[in-house]
């Protein structure tokens, strides 16, 4: 029987505190274009990085030992403590809230590391689909046994196919290493600068190069130039292979750091919030504000609806603030309501209180 997992109710706060890191960002401050409300002046130009939540909570946790399929050959101890970090990051009730920012990047990194580590023996950087089904189900069971949400696969859109080669033509380690300049790749990605990687994309470019190189195998070419489109599912699938190869050449904790650092750059690029109905804001603030109190009240209530949706990083908050700015402008809210109503980035993100932003990309 499974034992119930208990945990401390201070978790959200703990996670948020752990998520916050201060580092300096050498870049210049960029003004966000195309928004009427100017928020750039009210933010501190330093980066915020959602890093690993370590698992101090393990002390409070009683693990249950799951019954595994016996049909998955991945070595779960080869991922070091990544599994327990993932279980913490995808903690039952918080997984959906922390999905894009914390849980899914950590889950992805763990899967890549498990396959990467096992490739040292299997010499394969992908599982076949039957094997993938068993392994994914085993991983889910182990994580659940450590308190993780029982629906991570769905929350993070991971299918057994995600662990296979999908459309990438190279899965053998030996073929990979004879095709790709693997020392260059390892050099670019062995250790990434978490702050500058998102801006300089040193490792990301090396990964893309490697992915394009293997994706081009077997593609038609014209006069020696292959006809691989700039963006394709094939290249994306090959990126997964590259990440697994990288994970197999790093110790699990470095792999975790690198893979999380890379997904952090992706996470930061979009605004994950759904903007609710703006009727009230438009009514009070559009076409010239007649009653500032009423307008700001409407804005406050609107922004607090956004806050309730999801934890977002400060870079996402910047994008969200910019997107909302554009929406407001389209709705004829031409006054600078952000300044007028003292709304700044921290209002878009519950983390805003404790973290800073990197504005240079
Ligand atoms: C964990 O299990 C042990 C033994 O069953 C029990 O003594 C302990 O109180 C449990 N801890 C928590 C935090 O539930
Ligand atoms: C699994 O990984 C651990 C840690 O790297 C290692 O000590 C152990 O020998 C591996 N087991 C197998 C069966 O390869
Ligand atoms: C899938 O992979 C597993 C583990 O490597 C292997 O035992 C099995 O034969 C493979 N199945 C197919 C259909 O290739
Ligand atoms: C927004 O809400 C108002 C009432 O609160 C409603 O009349 C209007 O149809 C809604 N608009 C949309 C696009 O849902
Ligand atoms: C402005 O709006 C506030 C809040 O809705 C209201 O209390 C106040 O009476 C309004 N002021 C004027 C001058 O209409
Ligand atoms: C914005 O204002 C223009 C001109 O004042 C008007 O034609 C347009 O319908 C307004 N749009 C909205 C969404 O209120």
pLDDT tens-digit series, residues 263-276: 877 776 667 778 88
Q: Which of 201, 236, 267 is the last residue of a domain?
A: 267
Give SS3 for 17: helix
Residues 198 and 343 in one domain: no
Q: Does a structural domain hold residue 56?
A: no
In this model, does residue 4 exceed pLDDT 70? no
Measured from the CB, is residue 130 less than 6 Å from ligand 3?
yes
What is the 3 state secondary structure string of 105-163? HHHHHHHHHHHHHHHHHHCECCCCHHHHHHHHHHHHHHHHHCCECCCHHHHCCCCHHHH
Residues 262 and 303 placed together within one structural domain of the fold: no
The rounded Å distance from CA 290 to ligand 5 centre is 9
CA of 236 to the centre of ligand 3 (A): 24
Task: For ligand 6, atom 3, name the residue with the nearest CA.
Answer: 332
| Binding site membership of 279 for ligand 6 (Cβ less than 6 Å) | no
Dist. CA 279 → ligand 4 center (Å): 6
Answer whether 329 contacts ligand 6 (Cβ < 6 A). no
Residue with tokens 């978490």: 194
Q: Which domain holds residue 132?
A: 78-267
Model pLDDT, residue 60? 46
**Ligand 2 neighbourhood includes 78 CB (under 6 angstroms):** yes
Dump pLDDT digits (tens) for 300-348.
999 888 877 766 776 677 778 877 887 888 888 888 888 888 887 677 7
Question: Is it the case that residue 141 has pLDDT exceeding 70?
Answer: yes
Are 138 and 223 within one domain?
yes
The last residue of one of the domains, among 209, 237, 267, is 267
Structure token pair of residue 116: 């990467």
Whether the model clears a pTM of 0.75, i.e. scores above it, the answer is no
Give the chain's domain count: 2
Is residue 41 situated within a structural domain? no
Please indicate, yes or no, whether residues 260 and 310 belong to a single structural domain of this protein: no
Tell me if 22 is assigned to some domain.
no
How high is the pLDDT of residue 314?
66
Tokens, residue 360: 């240079």
Beta strands 221-222 and 225-226: pairing type?
Answer: antiparallel
Read off the pLDDT band of 64 (50, 70, 90): low
Pocket probe for ligand 6: among 285, 287, 332, 333, the residue whose CB has the most ligand atoms within 8 Å is 332
Question: Which of 218, 243, 267 is a domain's end point?
Answer: 267
Q: Is 66 inside any structural domain?
A: no
CA of 284 to the centre of ligand 5 (A): 10
- Domain membership flag for residue 45: no
Q: pLDDT by residue (tens digit) across 142-187?
A: 999 888 889 999 999 999 999 999 999 999 999 999 999 999 999 9
């Amino acid at each position: 029987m499974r034992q119930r997992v208990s945990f401390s109710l201070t978790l959200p706060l703990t996670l948020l505190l752990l998520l916050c890191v201060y580092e300096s960002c050498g870049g210049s401050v960029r003004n966000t274009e195309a928004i009427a409300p100017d928020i750039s002046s009210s933010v501190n130009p330093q980066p915020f990085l959602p890093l690993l939540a370590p698992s101090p909570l393990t002390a409070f946790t009683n693990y249950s030992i799951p019954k595994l399929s016996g049909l998955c050959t991945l070595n779960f101890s080869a991922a070091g403590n990544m599994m327990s970090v993932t279980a913490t990051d995808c903690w039952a009730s918080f997984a959906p809230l922390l999905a894009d920012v914390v849980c899914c990047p950590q889950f992805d990194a763990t899967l890549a590391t498990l396959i990467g580590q096992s490739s040292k023996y299997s010499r394969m950087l992908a599982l076949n689909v039957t094997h993938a089904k068993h392994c994914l189900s085993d991983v889910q069971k182990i994580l659940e046994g450590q308190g993780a949400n029982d629906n991570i696969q769905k929350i993070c859109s991971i299918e057994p196919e995600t662990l296979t080669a999908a459309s990438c033509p190279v899965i053998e380690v030996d073929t990979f290493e004879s095709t790709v300049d693997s020392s260059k790749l390892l050099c670019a990605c062995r250790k990434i600068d978490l702050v500058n990687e998102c801006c300089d994309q040193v490792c990301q470019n090396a990964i893309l190069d490697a992915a394009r190189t293997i994706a081009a195998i077997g593609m038609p070419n014209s006069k020696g130039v292959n006809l691989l489109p700039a963006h394709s599912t094939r290249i994306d699938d090959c990126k997964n292979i590259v990440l697994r190869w990288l994970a197999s050449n790093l110790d699990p904790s470095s792999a975790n750091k690198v893979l999380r650092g890379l997904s952090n750059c992706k996470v930061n690029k979009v605004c994950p919030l759904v903007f609710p109905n703006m009727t009230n804001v438009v009514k009070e603030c559009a076409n010239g504000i007649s009653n500032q109190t009423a307008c700001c009240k409407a804005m406050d209530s609107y922004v607090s609806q956004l806050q309730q949706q999801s934890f977002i990083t400060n870079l996402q908050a910047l994008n969200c603030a910019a997107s909302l700015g554009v929406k407001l402008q389209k709705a004829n809210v031409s006054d600078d309501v952000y300044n007028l109503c003292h709304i700044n980035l921290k209002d878009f993100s519950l983390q805003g209180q404790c973290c800073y932003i990197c504005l240079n990309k």
